A and B are shown apart, each in its own frame.
Chain A
Amino acid sequence: MRIPPTTRSDPSLKSTWSHRAWVASGCTTVLIALANSIMGAAESHIWLEPILAGLVGYVLADLGSGVYHWGIDNYGSAETPVIGPQIEAFQGHHKWPWTITRRQFANNLHALARTVTFFVLPIDLACHDSILLGFVGVCSGCIMFSQQFHAWAHGTKSKLPPIVVALQDAGILVSRPQHAAHHRQPYNNNYCIVSGVWNEFLDTQNVFGALEMILFFKLGVRPRSWDEPNSDWTEETETSSQVALP
């Protein structure tokens, strides 16, 4: 049985130097992509397309975050190769959602930063197109920071920086109420965690429901969201030290 990280000093919530290194490398690859995009745009005086590409990257990062989140919330287990630890972490998050607000920055982001490093570094080395780099830089940056946006979505309004609250209220970052809906029965909606702009469409059109049915009929796998949450999944109510969802 897993033991919840219950105290702020729990080592599993703290950043290690390895975490920090991965976040540094992820940020470096993203910044290189963005910098090269900006320099390319400045040289060619073509700004509109790289900016639009960046916007597309921001929008698609939200969709990507939802698809990935849906996948690991519903399928696989701690024993799944490569992503087993992430699946376990997401299950733990559903059981103890408030703990994400207590994770230190690099601890929270390092897994995504590692993935971003592997994908973006080769692109940085091979590519010099300012439009593509604009897309890649913004998309990968949003994906890497999606865990931070996610943590903020679990925060309380009074404890968040005003700029974050403003961005959440403006729909630029995923909002606290929208993400709170994901943590309520039947745990099958509001999967996107960058801006949340795709959530309404994906949920009203039942896109994930359709994908779940296809996977069920083709591969015989049932998503976790179809069944009553078992004790591994059901949220525990915290003690008095809980940071409540607003």
Chain B
Amino acid sequence: MASVSLPKLTLHSLFPTQSPKTPLCLNNSILHKLPQSQFHGLKLSRSSSTSIPSSSSVKTSIFAKVTQGTVPPAFTLKDQDGKNVSLSKFKGKPVVVYFYPADETPGCTKQACAFRDSYEKFKKAGAEVVGISGDDSSSHKAFSKKYKLPFTLLSDEGNKVRKDWGVPSDLFGTLPGRQTYVLDKNGKVQLIYNNQFQPEKHIDETLKLLQSL
């Protein structure tokens, strides 16, 4: 039985911190239509025998669970070699976790290559880079090999982690969102950046923040 805990609407997924929107990202226009009431992080708790419905794109486009200053939910996902990788592995150093729509699509390729080309700068800042999409390990392996990506790609099959972290969708739920989180060495979120159609900006914004950490 779902129970709703009390609300203060976070408009985070519609208007995350540090997120210049491209004109085609309609989140701001949805924002203006919302009521002015505030409630934060709708939390649904269910008994273990039921499962949360997967058509949660509306939910994730309105309610964000991971916000700046919080510690995001832990996860263990398979990497491009099929090995399990946990978020906790990266504790002790900053980590850039970037959620992207899909391997081998133009924006995601640009973004991955941009992270690759700036990877030394991320290493210099002591940070690790992790990309997450709903593609499987073999897709990640091929993508990683083709573009010689030096960082880990994780397979979030079923988009469970994407939903747990509240990554908003774009274009009325038709596109998985492109959102990047920078976690500090204590695992706390210091930056959330969302930009679907200017993928290279994710690198600039995250590096800027890392260099100040």
Contacts and interface: CB of A to CB of B under 8 A. Distances in A.
B101 A207 contact: no
Nearest to B198: A206
A205 B104 CA distance: 21
Contacts of B197: 206, 209-210
A75 interface: no
Interface string B6-29: 000000000000000011100000
* Interface of B (DSSP majority class): loop
Nearest to B106: A226
B24 A206 contact: yes
Of B22, B106, B171, which is in contact with the most chain A CB atoms at under 10 Å from its CB? Answer: B106
* Interface of A (DSSP majority class): helix
Nearest to B25: A210
Nearest to A227: B104
A210 B101 CA distance: 12
A45 interface: no
Q: How large is the interface on A (under 10, 10 to 19, 20 to 34, 35 or more residues)?
A: 10 to 19
B175 A213 contact: yes
Interface string A182-198: 00000000000000000
A206 B102 CA distance: 18
Interface string B99-120: 0011011110000000000000
A210 B174 CA distance: 10
Interface in B167-213: 171, 174-176, 197
A219 to B, nearest CB: 11
A217 B24 contact: no
A214 interface: yes
Contacts of B24: 205-207, 210
Given A210-B197, A214-B171, 4 more contacts: A206-B197, A212-B106, A217-B174, A217-B176
B175 A209 contact: no
A209 B171 contact: no
A214 B107 CA distance: 13
A218 interface: yes
